[in-house]
Amino acid sequence: MSGEVQRNLRHAVRMMLKPLVKLLINQGVTHGDFTEVCKDVYVEMAIRHYMQGERINQSRVAVLTGLTRKEVKNVLVRATSSEVESKGFSRPSKVLMGWYSDPVYQGPYGVPLVLPYDANGEDSPSFKTLVKTYGADMAPRQMFEVLLASGAIAEPEPGLVKAVRRSFEPTGLSPELIERFGIISHNFFLTAAGNIEKKSQGGALLERVVSANRRWTDDELSELQELCKNSGQELLEYIDNWIAKQDMAREKKGSDDTSIEVKETGLGIYHYIESKEDKSSLRDILVERGLEQHEED
């Protein structure tokens, strides 16, 4: 792969990850959690697509993925273990866990103390010292805002912080919605990546986009959204009816050729709305803010 193609691919991956990482941060999934998932997928894809029929060789997997042999081994152990994976604690979770388990931050009967946000240099426990002990490098003010927004803490009066809930629960999404998100994303990238790797002209699956580049008002966007919903639904229903007819015709023929590879197929439609900031780079942000870096609380 040429250097230019690699650069373009890395840029494409960054664009692809931006909305995903935003969602992950919102749901308390850390970089470490995401990295471990990436390792799992790298090992799986290396074995599935580049070592077909071969005996699994950890050194070979390490060469293909860029992981160390130890990392490959850890992934394989996780995959073959019958034990349920333990849920990793995010930094907000660790702070709450420390608050409820460390005697320094507890009162009688193990009840978490109502802490001053800052002890003003004293050795007495405070929210800042709690975050410094259990929150890794996360800034106290940022931790306070995250926990307050989640309902895990409260501010009974200015300068005081009270633990309300032992567990950190970021903005909730139903398991069904998360599962749907995974399926939709998988299917979309399966098509997009497959079209990049297509081996023959005209062999690509349907992947088309129409876009408007001028500025749109909220009223216009609402009108377009309604049009997309209605027109898209009509198309999807037409395709769904066609698929149903094919299934009925096959059942009538009674054909059940077990030699045919089983595949699933379908059509997905999405409508996007993006702002200028959605496509700006980290460098754009730094330049816009004067390359200034302020030390947080």
Q: pLDDT of 104-153, one tens digit each?
A: 999 988 899 999 999 876 678 999 999 999 987 789 999 999 899 889 99
User: Each residue of 187-200: pLDDT tens digit?
Assistant: 898 898 888 887 77
Q: Is the pLDDT of residue 160 over 90?
A: yes
| Residue with more model confidence, 256 or 123 | 123
Residue 170 lies in a domain: no
- C-alpha to C-alpha distance for 207 and 267, rounded to whole angstroms: 10
Output the CA torsion 28→34→36→39 (10° steps): 170
> Do 109 and 159 sit in the same domain of this protein?
yes
Write down the pLDDT at residue 257: 64
Quote the pLDDT of residue 255. Answer: 62
14 and 66 assigned to the same domain:
yes
- Flag whether pLDDT at 77 surpasses 80: yes
pLDDT of 89 over the 70 cut: no
- Identify the CA nearest to 98 among candidates 117, 125, 116: 125
∠ CA 94-177-265, nearest 5°, is: 130
Residue 289 lies in a domain: no
Same domain assignment for residues 45 and 105? no
Looking at residue 52, its pLDDT comes to 85
Last residue in a domain, options 56, 87, 118: 87
Largest CA distance in the chain: 83
- Domain membership of residue 130 (yes or no) is yes
Same domain, 2 and 26: yes
Work out how many domains the chain is built from and give that number. 3
What's the token pair of residue 274?
């993006």
pLDDT-derived band at 293 (thresholds 50, 70, 90) equals: low
Phi-psi region of 159 (alpha: psi -120 to 50; beta: other; left: phi over 0): left
Could you read off the pLDDT of 4-13 as tens digits, one per residue? 888 888 988 9
What is the domain extent for residue 230?
Answer: 210-254
110 part of a folded domain? yes
- 11 and 81 co-located in one domain: yes
Mean pLDDT of the chain: 85
Q: What are the C-alpha distances in Å from 145 to residues 27, 162, 267?
A: 14, 13, 41
**Sequence letter at residue 251:** E
Task: Calculate mean pLDDT across residues 39-62.
Answer: 92
**pLDDT value of position 152:** 92
Tokens describing residue 132: 């410094």
- Domain closes at, from 54, 87, 120: 87
| 131 close to 140: Cβ distance less than 8 angstroms | yes
Model confidence at 259: pLDDT above 80: no
31 part of a folded domain: yes
Flag whether 203 is in a domain.
Answer: no
Kindly tell me if the per-residue pLDDT of 220 is higher than 60.
yes
| For residue 212, pLDDT beyond 90 | no
pLDDT at position 84? 44
pLDDT at res. 258:
67
Here the tokens at position 111 are: 């009840």
- What is the C-alpha R_g of the chain? 26
In a domain, 175, yes or no: no
Same domain, 66 and 137: no
Give CA–CA dist 273/235, Å, rounded. 21
Q: Is residue 2 part of a domain?
A: yes
Same domain, 158 and 106: yes
* Whole-number Å distance between alpha carbons of 128 and 115: 9
The pTM assigned to this predicted structure is 0.63
Does the pLDDT value for residue 166 go beyond 70? yes
